[in-house]
Structure 1
Amino acid sequence: MTTATCDHIARHTRPAPPHDVPALQRQGWALRLAALVLIAGLAACGDKAGKPAAPQGPAQVGVITLQPQQQQLDTTLPGRTRAYLSAEVRPQVSGILQQRLFTEGAMVQRGQALYQLDDRSLRAALASAEAALAKAEASARTLEATARRNAELVKIDAISRQAHDESQAAAAQSRADVGVARANLETARINLRYSRIEAPIAGRTSLSSVTPGALVTANQASALTTIVQLDPMYVDFTQSSTELLQLRRDWEAGRYQKVDGNQARVRIRLDDGSDYPHEGRLQFAGMIVNDTTGTVTLRAVLPNPGGVLMPGMYVQALLPTGLASDALLIPQQAVSRDLTGRANVLIVNSDDVIEKRPVELARALGSRWLVDSGLKAGERLVVDGFQRVKPGDKVSPQVVDLNAGQGGAKLPSAPEDGKRPAPANGQSVDIAAPRAGAPK
């Protein structure tokens, strides 16, 4: 780039000198024009903000029509699982443990060998008992032969009556000695058989409390292992006597129908909240109230083919207590409470006007309330759009399907122009939160 070119660029890019009046005038006019444009924009925005909003139609709310239905009533009671059969294995003879013959936690059959004790002393005791029996039998044969001879001799007065009586007594005593020896022999055989500890019932074993080489004693306090039968299983749970009395009053008043008497079906909910797939039967209902807790103990029997239930698990028993023939169920989100805790709902009357109605609720059934009083079949209950209405407002009710989709039914948002499309009669629409900027 030449020096002349650089001078040309510098001359055209440097600011105008103070004496260049036309350039300064042009810059001032540009600033004034920008200020006028800004003022005009602000005035236009002010006019637009001051313009009144377009009138909106009646607020749109989601409603359902109450229909009576037959509803089974369940009582949820806490309980614990119990083994159907349980046996603690203890030694019946003393000895040194030689061998464990089962796998801990495995299934065993009744009569299966679990432990083997050192049986040498027991075998020696058995041999001694056998010898004692043989000795007693030999002595008995001699004494009985003597008694028979003396019985013949006494007839011809060859011996005295005293000698005869003594020989007869000796023979009887020898027979008793034989009986004692035989009993001792049977005891020795039983003790030898007890040196091989067997399972008293079929079931699953727990951990072993001893290892080979340990000394065990007859009828010791600590069990060697425990065997439990897991199929079927017991579930013991308790119910308040107050609840039982109230339930009987409801039955007598005809509000609920009794279900299957004392052979009612019982469902189980596990500690993690999942439902147990197999139903059980109520086997026993206690008739004595615990004077400390005021409860009655109930017992159910459930099949346990997969071994899911284990003894000592905490579960919830769902016990059917009655049948409501004309039950009205409402979603829990439709209920609000005032400062006194009283439950209220909003309904849409025949003139499409919101009314506030106090209700009495009996119990919660999942995500719904069982209505005791305050509502009638055929009334339209507001289940969505509470924030947009108040009692006395004219509304546009839209039928809602609460089972539509996993996220529940939702109302469509209002369009930009404020107009609300009306769905076809009886058609379910989605319920959604109001669009930002929509009228309350």
Structure 2
Amino acid sequence: MATLKAFDADVLSAKAAVQSARINLEYTKAASPVPGRVGISQVTEGAYVQASNATLMATVQQLDPMYVDVLQSSNDLLRLRKALGSGELGRDKEGRARVKLLLDDGTEYAQEGALQFSDVSVSPSTSSVTIRAIFPNPNGILLPGLFVRARLVEGSKSDAILVPQPAVTRNSKGEATAFVVGAGDKVELRVLETGRTVGSDWLVLDGLKAGDRVIMNNLQRIRPGAAIKPVPMPATGPATAATASADTQKR
């Protein structure tokens, strides 16, 4: 009976050894914790890999959906939050701000994304905050590290005034100013409150009204109160302030 029990113990020990070998064999297969595409292998076949040293074998990238991180100034972030609260920004079905992408070659990405969240800290050196948008990427067009431009989808503003950037200068106080054709075709200097840039124009929040004629040319030669002979320029759109090319009169 003692010999029989010893043989039974040997059988159980052999089964335990087989199970242990199966477990160790599974450790030779590295399973990715996330779905995606694997990059270039960092080790060669047959190389010794240790779990204790955390040897990097390859990197798996999740390509769908894709996250887009954008640096935004703290002032723009405050404006963005106000726009979201007031409903000026377009939202998706889940109430998130809609975002579009411009690829590096200038073309627009076909899929529309949504603003997901912003970082909780501001960089003290650049006064900027990282905000993240999420985009579907079913065709794998977006790749990690790709340079893109994000554009928030906003609502339209019918009474907006856009002024070409060359017509806006800064005074000694850092205020935005523009020369305007006043009464009697005399030059007036207006202090403007500008919002943000829209293409090549400034969005003017205050200081101009519909019908004002902004001077575009000869800005170095004119002075406030000087009589000029304005020459109308073609308007760029219905939301743009009227512009004029000013020729100074000889006295």
- TM-score bracket, normalised by the shorter chain, equals 0.5 to 0.7
Q: Secondary structure at the match of 2:88?
A: coil
1:280 aligns with 2:113: yes
Q: How many residues align?
A: 235
CA distance in 2, matches of 1:307, 1:224: 23
Instruction: Indicate conservation of the 8 Å contact 2:64/2:137, yes or no.
Output: yes
Q: 1:192: which partner in 2?
A: 25
Instruction: Indicate conservation of the 8 Å contact 1:353/1:393, yes or no.
Output: yes
1:231 aligns with 2:79: no
Matches within 5 A, 1:401-412: 401-402=235-236
2:232 counterpart (379, 390, 398): 398
Could you report, residue by residue, the CA deviation over 1:25-46 in whole angstroms, capped at 9, with x for unpaired residues? xxxxxxxxxxxxxxxxxxxxxx
Instruction: Indicate conservation of the 8 Å contact 1:265/1:282, yes or no.
Output: yes
Share of identical aligned residues, percent?
A: 39
Instruction: Indicate conservation of the 8 Å contact 1:247/1:321, yes or no.
Output: no
Cα distance change on mapping 1:347 and 1:197 into 2, 3 Å: closer
Higher relative contact order (CA 8 A, sep 6+): 1
Could you report, residue by residue, the CA deviation over 1:245-300 in whole angstroms, capped at 9, with x for unpaired residues? 45556777x6x734428511223455x574552432123345x4369777655322
Could you report, residue by residue, the CA deviation over 1:32-65 in whole angstroms, capped at 9, with x for unpaired residues? xxxxxxxxxxxxxxxxxxxxxxxxxxxxxxxxxx
Instruction: Indicate conservation of the 8 Å contact 1:348/1:397, yes or no.
Output: no
Cα distance change on mapping 1:329 and 1:291 into 2, 3 Å: closer
Higher percent of residues as helix: 1
CA distance in 2, matches of 1:355, 1:182: 97
Greater Rg by CA: 1
1:301 counterpart (126, 130, 134): 134
Q: Secondary structure at the match of 1:309?
A: coil
Q: Secondary structure at the match of 2:37?
A: strand
CA shift for structure 1 position 333? 1.9
CA distance in 2, matches of 1:360, 1:220: 58
Instruction: Indicate conservation of the 8 Å contact 1:262/1:285, yes or no.
Output: no
Extract unaligned runs of 5+ from structure 2: 238-243
1:214 counterpart (37, 47, 50): 47
Instruction: Indicate conservation of the 8 Å contact 2:40/2:58, yes or no.
Output: yes
Extract unaligned runs of 5+ from structure 1: 1-134, 140-173, 404-430
TM-score by length of 1: 0.42
Q: Secondary structure at the match of 2:195?
A: strand
Instruction: Indicate conservation of the 8 Å contact 1:281/1:300, yes or no.
Output: yes
Question: What is the one-letter code of the residue matched to 2:54?
Answer: A
Could you report, residue by residue, the CA deviation over 1:347-384 in whole angstroms, capped at 9, with x for unpaired residues? 23464444333322222222111112111112222334
Higher mean displacement: 298-307 or 326-335:
298-307
Q: Secondary structure at the match of 1:190?
A: helix
Question: What is the one-letter code of the residue matched to 1:377?
Answer: A
Q: 2:100: which partner in 1?
A: 267
CA RMSD after TM alignment: 4.4
Instruction: Indicate conservation of the 8 Å contact 2:35/2:62, yes or no.
Output: yes
1:257 counterpart (88, 92, 100): 88
Q: 2:241: which partner in 1?
A: none
Cα distance change on mapping 1:230 and 1:352 into 2, 3 Å: same
Instruction: Indicate conservation of the 8 Å contact 2:195/2:203, yes or no.
Output: yes
Instruction: Indicate conservation of the 8 Å contact 1:251/1:258, yes or no.
Output: yes
